[in-house]
């Protein structure tokens, strides 16, 4: 497991990119996350970059003009990272990721001899637009918060809120990778079959119970061969890094369709991720022990357990949901926080997700994406989905301007943010994951719809 720190984590490091040294920056020199971008409104090719302060290091430009400043192993990794997606670089594995991170850290430090070469490779973040940072071959969404699972279960099964397998196995389902979009790309309210309470037949209509789910996205790096499981001891070596993830959910479509095979159209219309992948290595100073399991809970089975996982398998990462309505935008009012939680509360760690996903021999590939599931904490203000916050829509929340919400209305924007900070170390952030719900497409009414008019 790669939870050790090195010189790139030194809290005293400063960058010649002055904005990276500002207090509260998501992207100090100790972070250096990867993404894919181009200049806003241009027809340039997409290419990879690294965020530093309010700037982006254009890795394609660096591979052409500054490659001589990088040691051999880092130079090869830079060339692999300079494409229009990060998949090739992700597939190289931990040694290559670490080598390039170290070379970039040294090149961006105050006083570096590489400043003259690298400063010509900078693009202001305000001038950039982003694409999904990797070609996502497969997307699996998990269910790692026992608090979310219990809260949701209590709404539908008050006498048996938590299914008996939950404490034994990381629950997941395979989602739709084609509808994963990057922050800032808005989407239309989904349409699907809904069976209203007391109705004899379902109708086709726009979802009226649009929800959010605050999750982390886990990007797979180096994969494994078909038939070869990944052991817990090596699981973290296969994780490239993390993004914020909003698993938008149509709560009125979901209960009608999910029996017996699980989520389908209620989930696959859009999944929004933040543009910057914060590497597992960057998060090393913020690792923590997972929460102690309650007395009586079973210990993880052997393939899901390791001494390292018990001491630092979790990440102490703060996560928040902000909501901004159209009226708030018109009045120039800031988005309101409706949840503040922490990834450390997850019942299953990201290493356990990798080990479980592959125990049957399933092969992972560079760029595959895992969702952690909704990351609710134990307290009411740590509920990370509206269905929890409003108790299934029965208790609306009141926003600072007096508006109320049970579920999302057209024009509502949701912003997810995440960051790590601790005494003696700088704050590093994941940036922003933003999306706005647009009105649904026009529906051509079918015979069943007319029968309900």
**Which residues are part of the catalytic machinery?**
148
What's the token pair of residue 252?
Answer: 């009125």
Distance separating alpha carbons of residues 21 and 27, to the nearest angstrom: 9
Residues 6+ apart with CB under 8 A from 320: 214, 337, 339, 340, 341, 416, 417, 418
Nearest partner of 224 among 96, 88, 95, 366, judged by Cα: 366
3-state secondary structure 230-249: CCHHHHHHHEEEEEEEECCE
Alpha helix locations (H) across 280-414? 307-312, 326-330, 350-358, 386-389
Cα–Cα distance list, 342 to 34, 283, 314, 330, 374 (Å)? 23, 14, 10, 31, 11
- Residue 32: name the closest of 135, 119, 106 by CA: 106
* Long-range pairs of 97-101 with CB within 8 A, sequence gap ≥ 24: 97/221, 97/240, 97/279, 97/281, 98/6, 98/281, 99/71, 99/73, 99/74, 100/70, 100/74, 101/8, 101/32, 101/279, 101/281, 101/282
Hey, CA dihedral for 291, 295, 297, 298, is it positive or negative?
positive
Q: Is 145 helix (H, G, I), strand (E, B) or coil?
A: coil
CA dist 228 to 170, 270, 274, 275, 302, Å? Answer: 19, 32, 31, 31, 17
């Amino acid at each position: 497991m790669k939870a050790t720190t090195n010189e790139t984590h030194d809290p005293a490091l400063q960058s010649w990119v002055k904005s990276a040294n500002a207090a509260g920056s998501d992207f100090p020199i100790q972070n250096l996350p990867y993404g894919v971008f181009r200049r806003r409104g241009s027809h340039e090719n997409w290419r990879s970059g690294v965020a530093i302060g309010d700037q982006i290091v254009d890795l394609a430009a660096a591979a052409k003009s500054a490659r001589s400043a990088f040691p051999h192993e880092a130079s090869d990794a830079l060339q692999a990272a300079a494409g229009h997606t990060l998949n090739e670089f992700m597939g190289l594995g931990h040694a290559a990721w670490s080598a390039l991170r170290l070379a970039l850290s040294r090149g961006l430090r105050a006083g570096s001899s590489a400043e003259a070469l690298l400063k010509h490779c900078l693009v202001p973040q305000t001038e950039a637009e982003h694409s999904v940072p990797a070609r996502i071959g497969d997307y699996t969404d998990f269910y790692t918060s026992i608090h979310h699972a219990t809260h949701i279960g209590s709404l539908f099964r008050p006498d048996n809120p938590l299914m008996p397998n939950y404490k034994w196995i990381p629950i997941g389902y395979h989602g739709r990778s084609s509808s994963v979009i990057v922050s800032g790309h808005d989407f239309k309210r989904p349409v699907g079959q809904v069976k209203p309470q007391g109705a004899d037949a379902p109708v086709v209509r726009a979802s009226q119970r649009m929800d959010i789910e605050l999750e982390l996205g886990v990007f797979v790096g180096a994969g494994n061969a078909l038939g070869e499981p990944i052991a817990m001891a090596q699981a973290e070596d296969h994780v490239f890094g993390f993004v914020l993830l909003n698993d938008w959910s149509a709560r009125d479509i979901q209960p009608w369709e999910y029996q017996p095979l699980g989520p389908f159209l209620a989930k696959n219309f859009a999944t929004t991720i933040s543009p910057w992948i914060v590497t597992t290595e960057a998060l090393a100073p913020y690792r923590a022990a997972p929460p102690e399991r309650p007395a009586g809970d079973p210990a993880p089975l052997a393939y899901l357990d390791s001494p390292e996982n018990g001491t630092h398998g979790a990440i102490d990462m703060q996560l928040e949901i902000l909501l901004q309505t159209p009226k708030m935008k018109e009045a120039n009012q800031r988005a309101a926080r409706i949840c503040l939680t922490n990834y450390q509360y997850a019942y299953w760690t990201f290493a356990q997700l990798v080990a479980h996903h592959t125990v049957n021999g399933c092969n992972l590939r560079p760029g595959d994406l895992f969702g952690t599931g909704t990351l609710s904490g134990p307290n009411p203000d740590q509920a990370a989905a509206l269905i929890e916050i409003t108790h299934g829509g029965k208790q609306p929340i009141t926003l600072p301007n007096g508006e109320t919400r049970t579920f999302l209305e057209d024009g509502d924007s949701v912003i997810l943010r995440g960051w790590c900070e601790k005494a003696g170390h700088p704050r590093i952030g994941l940036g922003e994951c933003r999306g706005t719900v647009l009105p649904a497409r026009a529906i051509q009414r079918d015979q069943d719809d007319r029968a309900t008019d």
